[in-house]
Structure formats: structure tokens, C-alpha cells
Amino acid sequence: MNGVHDTGGMQGFGPVLPEPGEPPFHAEWERRAFAITLALGALGLWNIDQMRHERESLPPAEYLASSYYRIWFRAVENAVRELELLDREGLRARTAEELTGLFSSRSSYERRIGAGPVFRAGQPVRTRTINPSGHTRLPRYARGRVGTVLAVRGAHVFPDRHAVPLGQEPDPTPEWLYTVEFRAEELWGQDADPTVTVSIDAWEPYLEAA
Amino acid sequence: MSDHDHDHDHDHPQYSELSEMEAKVRALETLLTEKGLVDRAALDAVVERYEKEVGPHNGAQVVAKAWTDADYRRWLLEDADAAIASLGHVGRQGEHMVALENTPERHNMVVCTLCSCYPWPVLGLPPVWYKSPAYRSKVVIDPRGVLADFGVSLPEGTEIKVWDSTAEMRYLVIPLRPEGTDGMSEERLAELVTRDSMIGTGLVHAPSGAAR
């Protein structure tokens, strides 16, 4: 979706403000909101792509005005309500050992795939101009642009199909994933800094031969 | 007046949001705990892990080893997953690691313009600025401007390469080793490596007085 979460290249947000000695959390509720998000996620009722889509689907003005963990919490609140979790029976909380065990182990989205990759490193490709109303990981600033494949990263679950509405069965069919590099002039026009390149990680359905 | 408190909240939105969030999060945690959907000890444990145990000191250890051990550096650049896992840094949001080597000619910077993707096992949880619209919007169109916000200026002509983490690949910048650190131990070097230098918004400096 063309949401306000898709920030790349927007202007007017002001300078980046680093905070010296920044702590991981700024308030007790941030600790709890973070942990609740991880603990509920570990119940397996939704995947990370669905939860990212929940966050980016908050009303645009609310998304931009909210601190980060407030966005997380609002998305989890919506998911709890939508799936009527408080009325469900038969779900069991993850124990401390289970939860820390899950988060200290790998959980890869790389999958086996039948067909080989269509593109290879060094090849020029064009990103497609798409405007899906659901979840996508192709940012607006990099649509319809010509770049070069830097690397083939394996086949990974495709978020555009995986982020189905909460409660529906996700489609985990993988697609080849590539790192694609663009010169700044291709993204931002001829006045762009010629020493700058930007890369994205793009699944095969986002790309066509150039 | 009966709605005085309500009006008062509107006069102080920041204060009101804070107390509103404390109340809301606590209320949901209580409900979820009563329903057996979350376990308080599990919440405490996961906070403990990401507040106390996992953090940029992990990545600093990787960088210092890459600076002092040429074989490890080669392995890290070829197969970052295995090289980082060999030091024990494994976990969620670090499944597909790529190490990016800064050189005098090329400087790397990492962002997630769409959300907040970040290599948790080596850097811990991302700082607020990394998740802010200001950083996410600006670094892909004006990386030198972002560096200026951090007080960093690179020589003119240095290539800047920005990596937008739009999938599950996670990037770790290997900053340049500063001059004047020859003969320093790996442990001492690791203390010099900052979080920002491993995202690409900072450089590593020798301690004052170290350069001769």
C-alpha cells in the first residue's frame, strides 16, 4: 500500500536527532509493549509480514504522530480485537524458556524453490511500477527504475502473498530475492549526488529485464 | 467542572499520551495474563534479554575480530551468518547477515525505509532515530546530509552506498579501523567501536593520545 510508512525520499521531517547514550526503552510501558508483541507473536497466530501490515495500516496521521512502540502496541491491540483473542480458548502462553529460546534461535524465511533464478548478478533490471493496496516491500521511490543486480540472495517467502488478512491462511510460496543497486541519478534525477548509490532487496515479481 | 480533568489532558498532550499508554499497556497485559495468553515471567525474560544481554557490544566484537584476524575478515565478508554465529550471536532478526566493508573509497550506510529492520543479534534493538521518519526518509536521498546531522563529514568523492533493508537480509557495516591503533588488543579495539559506526552514521576514532 502507498502508506505514510513508505518514507524513502520524503522531505520535511527535519534533521535526524541522535540521542547520546540512548537507552533501549524510555518508559516502562515501552518494555511491556515490546515484550507483549513478541510474546503474542510467538503464539503463531500471525506472521511478521501480517504484523508489519497491521502497523502500516494505522491511520496516516496517527502513524506519523506516534512513537515507535505506540505503533507496535496499537497494531497488537487491533490484532487482539480482530482475532477476538480474549474470548478464545485453548491458547497457552509461552514460558520464559520457550520465548527466550525462540528469540535466540534462527527463524529463516528462506525456502526451497523448484525453478532457478531468472536474473543473475551484474544484470540490469527494471523494477515494476506497481501500486498494490495490500502489503508490499517495494518502496515507492524505487518503482519503475533501472538498476543492477548485485547479488542473488536465495528464495524467500514473498511478503506480498504472506501478509494475508489476520485469521486467513498465509501463502508461503517463495520467490527469488535479489539485491538491486540504483545510481542516485536514476532515483532522484540529474541533480543527485553522483557518488551515491542505493540498493534494495527485491523479490523476482518486483523485477523485469531491462 | 466535571470535565476539568479531560480538558487538562488536552493541554498537555505529551504528558497525557505517556500516562494514557502506561494505563493502556498495563490493562492489556493484565487481561492477557488472566486469559493465559502471556506469562509475566516470559515478558520479563525477553525484556531482560534485549535490554541487558544483546546489544552493540556483540557487533563490536565481530568488528574488532575482523580488524585483527585476516582469515576471520575474509570469512565474515563471504559468509557473515557463519562467521557471526561462530561468536555466539544468533537469533531473530539476524538470519541472513551481510557484512559491508568500509574502505577509504567507499562508505556504507544501512536503513529500513519501510519500517525498522535491524540486525538484533549484533546490534540489539534499534535507537529511536533509526526508526524515525527523519532518518528513514532522508538517508536514501541525502546521505551526506544525514552524516552532517551526526557531525560526520567524509572526503569529497568518497562513494556512499546506502542499503535499504526491504527484506530479511540484515546488514552490518565494518567501519574503517582508525589510525594509531596498531598493536591494540581485540578487546581494547572492541571498546572503540560504536553502534553508529556499524550502521554507517558514525566513524570509529582512536582514543585521544593514542595516535603518535
Q: What's the ipTM?
A: 0.98
Q: Could you tell me if residue A92 is inside a domain?
A: yes
Does pLDDT of B1 surpass 80? Answer: no
Residues A64 and A141 occupy one common structural domain = no
Establish if A82 belongs to a structural domain. yes
Q: Are residues A79 and A47 in the same domain?
A: yes
Closest CB to A70 among B21, B162, B196: B21
Question: Torsions phi, psi of A72, nearest 5?
Answer: -60, -45
* pLDDT for res B17: 61
- Identify whether residues A188 and A140 lie together within a single domain: yes
Q: Are residues A98 and A135 in the same domain?
A: no
Is residue A4 included in any domain, yes or no? no
Which chain A positions have a beta carbon within 8 Å of B150's beta carbon?
16, 18
| Chain A interface includes B45 (CB < 8 A) | yes
| pLDDT tens per residue, range A130-188 | 999 999 999 999 999 999 999 999 999 999 999 999 999 999 999 999 999 999 999 99
Helix (H) / strand (E) element for B160: namely strand B159-164
More confident residue, A49 or B3: A49
Cβ pair B168:A137 closer than 8 A: no
- Write out chain A's pLDDT in tens, 210 residues: 999 999 999 999 999 999 988 999 999 999 999 999 999 999 999 999 999 999 999 999 999 999 999 999 999 999 999 999 999 999 999 999 999 999 999 999 999 999 999 999 999 999 999 999 999 999 999 999 999 999 999 999 999 999 999 999 999 999 999 999 999 999 999 999 999 999 999 999 999 999
The grid coordinates listed for B41 are: 515471567
- Rounded to 10 deg, the angle between the A48-56 and A68-82 helix axes is 110
- Contact between B124 and A24 using a beta-carbon 8 Å cutoff: yes
Question: Does one domain contain both A92 and A137?
Answer: no
Boundary of a domain, candidates A103, A133, A151? A103
Q: Which residues of B touch A105 (CB under 8 A)?
A: 90-92
A71 belongs to a structural domain = yes
Q: Which helix (H) or strand (E) holds B163?
A: strand B159-164
Residue B21 binned pLDDT confidence (cut-offs 50, 70, 90)? very high
Length of chain B in terms of residues written: 212
User: What is the distance between the alpha carbons of residues B156 and B133, in angstroms, rounded to a whole number?
Assistant: 27
Single out the catalytic residue among B19, B115, B137, B153: B115
Q: What is the mean pLDDT of residues B31-37?
A: 97
Of B25, B129, B160, the CB nearest to A196: B160
CATH number at residue A193: 2.30.30.50
User: Which residues contact residue B184 at a Cβ distance below 8 angstroms, ignoring those fewer than 6 apart?
Assistant: B210
B16 in a labelled binding site: no
Strand order of the β-sheet with B106-111 is A207-209, A124-127, A146-157, A174-183, A196-203, B159-164, B106-111
Indicate whether A170 and A202 sit together in one domain: yes
Which tens digits make up the pLDDT trace of B79-128? 999 999 999 999 999 999 999 999 999 999 999 999 999 999 999 999 99
3-state secondary structure of B111: strand
State whether A132 and A196 are in the same domain.
yes
Count up the domains in chain A and report the number: 2
A151 and A99 within one domain: no
Domain shared by A139 and A189, yes or no: yes
- Please check the confidence at residue B187 and state whether its pLDDT lies above 50: yes
SS3 sequence of chain A: CCCCCCCCCCCCCCCCCCCCCCCCCCCHHHHHHHHHHHHHHCCCCCCHHHHHHHHHCCCHHHHHHCCHHHHHHHHHHHHHHHCCHHHCCCCCCCCHHHHHHHHCCCCCCECCCCCCCCCCCCCEEEECCCCCCCCCCCCHHHCCCEEEEEEEEEEEECHHHHCCCCCCCCCCCEEEEEEEEEEHHHHHCCCCCCCEEEEEEEEHHHEEEC
The answer to whether residue A1 sits within a structural domain is: no
**The domain boundary residue, chosen from A73, A103, A133:** A103
Strand pairing partners for B97? B170
H-assigned helices in chain B:
4-11, 13-34, 40-48, 56-68, 70-78, 80-85, 120-123, 128-131, 133-138, 143-149, 186-192, 195-199
The pTM score is: 0.94
Domain, as residue range, for A155: 124-209
Do A170 and A94 lie in one domain? The reply is no
Question: Is residue B116 annotated as a catalytic residue, yes or no?
Answer: yes
Q: Which of A40, A73, A103 is the last residue of a domain?
A: A103
Do A77 and A147 lie in one domain? The reply is no
Active site residue B185: no
Facing A86 at nearest CB: one of B35, B43, B45: B35
State the pLDDT confidence band at B18, using cuts at 50, 70 and 90. low
Q: Are strands B96-101 and B169-174 parallel, antiparallel or unpaired?
A: parallel
Looking at the structure, do residues A129 and A203 belong to the same domain, yes or no? yes
